[in-house]
Structure 1
Amino acid sequence: MTTNMGKIDRVGRLAIAAVLLFLAVGTNVLGTGILFWLAVIVAAVFALTALVGSCPLYSIIGLKTCRDC
């Protein structure tokens, strides 16, 4: 898997993942239904792609947000 995400993109995804997890687990805003699970899944995908540095969707559409790759 090649890196196709820049640092700003990765930090942004981690921030969004943290906010989604906080809303899902730390508050009662999303409840316990489908919105809760959707937020948890999206947060997990964002965190995983940010930590790995590669987004499969970016690979499909040919997008790269890093300068060195």
Structure 2
Amino acid sequence: MKANMGNTDKIIRILAAILIGVLYFMQLISGTLAIVLLIVAGAFIITSFMSFCPLYLPFGLSTVQKEKK
């Protein structure tokens, strides 16, 4: 797998996952919404550490900065 996520993208995903976790543990979200958001948060964490987002492939997206020559 070729990396298609830049550092800014990874940081935003990790911060979003942390926010979802905080909302859950403060019991501000619950039920089905909490379960769905926790799954999304888990996907954000996994894709951030892998630097690869499978949803970017069909659209040809990449947030990795190109090297300057």
Match of 2:57 in 1: 59
Residues 36-68 of structure 1 deviation map (CA, whole Å, 9 limit, x = unaligned): 101110100001101100000111210000014
Aligned to 2:21: 21
TM-score of the two chains, using structure 1 as the length reference: 0.89
Q: 1:16-48 deviations in whole A, cap 9, x for unaligned?
A: 011011111x211112x1011011101000011
Note the 1:1-69 alignment, pairs <5 A: 1-24=1-24, 26-31=25-30, 33-68=31-66
Q: Which consecutive unaligned segments of at least 5 residues does structure 1 have?
A: none
Greater radius of gyration (CA): 2
Unaligned ranges ≥5, structure 2: none
Percent of residue pairs identical: 33
Q: Distance in 2 between matches of 1:3 and 1:68?
A: 12
Q: After the TM superposition, which segments of 4 or more aligned residues of structure 1 sit over 3 Å from their partners? A: none
TM-score normalised by the chain length of structure 2: 0.89
